[in-house]
Chain A
Amino acid sequence: EIVLTQSPGTLSLSPGERATLSCRASQSVSSSYLAWYQQKPGQAPRLLIYGASSRATGIPDRFSGSGSGTDFTLTISRLEPEDFAVYYCQQYGSSIFTFGPGTKVDIK
């Protein structure tokens, strides 16, 4: 089973700053099977990125995904107040899904 590790656990930033979130896999993951989700308190997760770098419908272009193999990154170019949330990466390999533990982006 592929284990995903996310870092940092918490990222404290100010609105307007750039956020860089890391997701590392215990073994190589196909880029096609790597996704990122955003979750706000009391809400269901929302798909941001699929296929490692494709934005889902309606997602602003300040969100971007990159990476391959075992290292993937979600970047938020300029944080808006509504972007403070928890972010999860997820992979789908060998017919098994796993989620990372999440990175909380909070207001500094």
Chain B
Amino acid sequence: QITLKESGPTLVKPTQTLTLTCTFSGFSLSTSGVGVGWIRQPPGKALEWLALIYWDDDKRYSPSLKSRLTITKDTSKNQVVLTMTNMDPVDTATYYCAHFNYYGSGRYAFDIWGQGTMVTVSS
């Protein structure tokens, strides 16, 4: 059974750097085709993809946030870490990590999601 859980601060000040950790179980991030992604959702708004890291350490970022994001993995600890610099109140959102699954024939999707963690940016 695959599970993921996000952890990190619930409150950050403007201009600070946010560090979120996704701790997972039930799969290995060294398995070919697998990835872990981060997606956020401001209150009452739609989902927004942030970043993805693949089993081979290939990384992808949202073009609009690329300069502020870094995603890394620690395979031995079953963790993926997302850092976002220069936080602003508009970054207030629930942040989710999700397992990125390869179904074959070129088909992918985020099939298992963590419960999410709410981050508020305020002074």
Contact = CB atoms under 8 A, between A and B. Distances in A.
Do A and B come from the same complex?
A: yes
B63 A50 contact: no
B72 to A, nearest CB: 18
A90 B109 CA distance: 9
Interface string A18-59: 000000000000101101010100001111001100101100
A101 B112 CA distance: 20
Nearest to B50: A97
Contacts of B46: 88, 99-102
A80 to B, nearest CB: 22
Contacts of A56: 109, 111
Contacts of B48: 99
A45 B47 CA distance: 9
Contacts of B37: 97
A57 B115 CA distance: 19
A88 B105 CA distance: 23
Interface in A58-99: 88, 90, 92, 95-99
A50 B62 CA distance: 21
A50 B116 contact: no
A37 to B, nearest CB: 8
B113 interface: yes
Contacts of A1: 63
Interface of A: 1, 30, 32-33, 35, 37, 39, 44-47, 50-51, 54, 56-57, 88, 90, 92, 95-102
5 contacts: A32-B107, A44-B113, A44-B115, A88-B46, A90-B110
Interface of B: 37, 39, 46-49, 52, 60, 62-63, 96, 103, 105-116
